[in-house]
């Protein structure tokens, strides 16, 4: 049994691992291409001037520099009135920058893995992993400093390297069934799990070094620490799923801004392992869905004539959320007792045809009646028209729900300018071009303005992801995964804004938030997730 103190320690390590998966390739690319040396020499640089000096894609350069700022190694100043971003060195900059060459091995491993099956253990990448591990055991040759700040940076970077060893490994093991309850509850031999027992034994020895397993003779068994990380393997999943993007940072920042998205086989999602992303999202979001359940229970226990006629799940994925909500309402609400007189209309909509097909199969297997259709989160007017014409369903009669979707909308430049300067510190881009924070905030307002005619009656219930200022992130290292969120979403043209920016933007267009049915996680200055119920 892991004590609460140890749980806090392990969770902090996990967050540092996530930092490392995105920071290592970002920092090494900037170092290799001379950007960090230039910043150190100049002390303070204007982003646009820096971009012109190095001939880069300014949007992705901004994302990479903001990653360093969130780790506390440089400082960011944003002037949204003049659309200027400035980065300047601090006392940690020379210490950290001098250690960026240590990231070369893990960056090379990310790149090497492109040539192998992303979820199989193959000899060549495993050999590279072993080499990294041997260097890690020797602290990469570092003599840990007696000076507090220098030692903190050294340990921070070693934790990042450790994250690149453990994060992808734990994801691969979990997705391949190694964390089945059989293996978690009993001792086992390497050959019981993997055909290449010899190499798998070496991998287990590496994990044993990190105290995730104990070894007795030829058998291995999980430790309490190992069980903690095994049960949270999905927490690494979303970040690891973006390694296809991270391995191309040299090109993204200094070359072809579309190199991650344009895959050789024509896959428009070459920048992400979507199956892994969905798996990781499902495992990581359980806490937030509990809050959603509370809101759903409140809504569907109101007097029957005040309730929505049903639910629209925009971005329905595999239909699991829609099925869960139906079962919750059926079993635990007033509405559930009166479904014959007040049937519950369920609609799942998605932009991806594969998701539509899977949702249809899953709702049929669950013996649930639902309409499943194509829909674009950026075009609710068309969705409303299609619903009315095809099914005689009025979009405004439904409760609109979605999770972690609005920030991933297809970019559309807003027609109306923001009337004030944005307060966001975000780093946003579209295909490598930097987007001003004013434009991104105006886009957010335009996006939700399209939805406002359809949510006045029963509301819009959503879970959303957010950023925080780099200075706040630097104060909360080990307590937030925001560096990983900012990097993976920034490099893939997604638009996560800070919680106050999000709330203020929606308030400005008349979307009223029910504060009694809202929550943020964590409930501190470092909040990166909110659950909100908005009404017009």
Kindly tell me the number of DSSP H helices and DSSP E strands found in the chain: 23, 15
317 domain-assigned: yes
343 domain-assigned: yes
395 domain-assigned: yes
C-alpha of 178 from chain center: 24
Instruction: With CA atoms as reference, report the closest residue to 437 among 417, 409, 463, 415.
Output: 417
Cβ neighbours, 10 Å, residue 216: 8
pLDDT tens track for 116-171: 776 666 778 889 999 999 999 999 999 988 889 999 999 999 999 999 999 999 99
Query: Domain containing 395 — which CATH number?
Result: 3.40.50.720
pTM across the whole model? 0.94
Residues in contact with 185: Cβ distance below 8 Å, sequence separation at least 6, in sequence order: none
Here the tokens at position 448 are 């939700």
Residue 387 half-sphere exposure toward CB, CA atoms < 13 A: 27
Domain count along the chain? 1
96 domain-assigned: no
C-alpha of 189 from chain center: 35
Coil, helix or strand at residue 318: coil
284 domain-assigned: no
Q: What does the pLDDT profile of the chain (536 residues) look like in tens digits?
A: 789 999 999 999 999 999 999 999 999 999 999 999 999 999 999 999 999 999 999 999 999 999 999 999 999 999 999 999 999 999 999 999 999 999 999 999 999 988 877 666 677 888 999 999 999 999 999 998 888 999 999 999 999 999 999 999 999 989 887 787 666 777 888 887 777 788 889 999 999 999 999 999 889 999 999 999 999 999 999 999 999 999 999 999 999 999 887 655 455 578 888 888 878 877 667 778 889 999 999 999 999 999 999 999 999 988 888 999 999 999 999 999 999 999 999 999 998 888 899 899 999 999 999 999 999 999 999 999 999 999 999 999 999 999 999 999 999 999 999 999 999 999 999 999 999 999 999 999 999 999 999 999 999 999 999 999 999 999 999 999 999 999 999 999 999 999 999 999 999 999 999 998 899 999 999 999 999 999 88
- Give the C-alpha separation, 145 to 102, whole Å: 16
Q: Strand locations in 264-342, DSSP E? A: 310-314
What was the pLDDT predicted at 468?
98
Dihedral in degrees, nearest 10, Cα atoms 367, 370, 376, 380: -150
- Give the C-alpha separation, 441 to 445, whole Å: 6
430 domain-assigned: no
- Give the C-alpha separation, 371 to 376, whole Å: 15
201 domain-assigned: no
111 domain-assigned: no
Return the H-helix or E-strand segment holding 506. Answer: helix 499-508
- Give the C-alpha separation, 246 to 435, whole Å: 21
Residues in contact with 84: Cβ distance below 8 Å, sequence separation at least 6, in sequence order: 46, 47, 48, 78
The domain of 326 spans: 310-403
Residue 317 has φ and ψ, to the nearest 5°, of 65, -115
Q: Do you know the residue count of the chain?
A: 536
């Amino acid at each position: 049994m892991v004590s609460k103190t140890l749980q806090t320690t392990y969770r902090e390590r996990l967050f540092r691992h996530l930092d490392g998966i995105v920071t290592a390739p970002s920092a090494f690319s900037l170092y290799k291409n001379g950007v960090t040396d230039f910043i150190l020499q100049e002390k303070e640089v204007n982003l646009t001037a820096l971009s012109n000096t190095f001939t880069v894609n300014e949007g992705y350069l901004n994302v990479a520099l903001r990653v360093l700022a969130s780790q506390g190694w440089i400082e960011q100043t944003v002037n949204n009135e003049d659309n200027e971003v400035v980065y300047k060195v601090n006392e940690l900059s020379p210490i950290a920058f001098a250690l960026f060459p240590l990231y070369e091995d893990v960056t090379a491993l990310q790149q090497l893995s492109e040539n192998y099956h992303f979820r199989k253990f193959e000899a060549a990448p495993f050999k590279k992993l072993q080499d990294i591990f041997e260097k890690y055991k020797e602290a990469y040759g570092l003599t840990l400093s007696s000076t507090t700040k220098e030692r903190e940076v050294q340990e921070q970077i070693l934790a990042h390297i450790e994250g690149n060893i453990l994060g992808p490994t734990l994801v691969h093991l979990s997705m391949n069934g190694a964390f089945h309850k059989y293996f978690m509850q009993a001792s086992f031999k390497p050959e019981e799990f993997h055909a290449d027992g010899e190499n798998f034994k070496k991998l287990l020895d590496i994990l044993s070094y990190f105290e995730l397993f104990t070894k007795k003779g030829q058998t291995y068994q999980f430790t309490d620490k190992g069980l903690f990380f095994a049960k949270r393997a999905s927490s690494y999943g979303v970040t690891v799923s973006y390694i296809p993007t991270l391995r191309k940072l040299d090109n993204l920042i200094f070359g072809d801004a579309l190199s991650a998205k344009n895959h050789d086989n024509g896959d428009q999602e070459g920048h992400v392992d979507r199956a892994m992303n969905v798996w990781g999202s499902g495992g990581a979001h359980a806490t937030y869905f509990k809050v959603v359940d509370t809101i759903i229970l409140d809504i569907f226990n109101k007097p029957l004539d005040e309730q929505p006629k049903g639910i629209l799940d925009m971005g329905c994925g595999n239909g699991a959320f829609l099925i869960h909500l139906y079962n919750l309402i059926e079993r635990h609400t007033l509405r559930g007792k009166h479904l014959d007189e007040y049937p519950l209309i369920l609609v799942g909509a998605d932009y991806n045809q594969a998701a539509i097909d899977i949702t249809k199969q899953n709702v049929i297997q669950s013996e649930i009646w639902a309409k499943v259709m194509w829909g674009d989160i950026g075009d609710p007017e068309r969705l409303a028209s299609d619903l009315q014409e095809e099914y005689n369903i009025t979009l405004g009669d439904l409760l609109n729900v979605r999770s972690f979707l609005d920030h991933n909308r297809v970019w559309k430049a807003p027609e109306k300018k923001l009337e004030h300067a944005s307060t966001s510190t975000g780093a946003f881009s579209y295909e490598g071009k930097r987007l001003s924070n004013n434009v991104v905030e105006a886009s957010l307002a335009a996006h939700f303005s399209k939805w406002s005619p359809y949510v006045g009656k029963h509301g819009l219930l959503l879970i959303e992801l957010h950023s925080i200022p780099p200075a706040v992130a630097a104060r909360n290292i080990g307590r937030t995964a925001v560096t990983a969120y900012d990097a993976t979403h920034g490099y893939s043209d997604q638009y996560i804004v800070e919680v106050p920016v999000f709330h203020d933007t929606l308030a400005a267009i008349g979307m009223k938030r029910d504060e009694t049915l809202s929550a943020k996680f964590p409930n501190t200055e470092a909040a990166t997730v909110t659950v909100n119920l908005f009404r017009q």
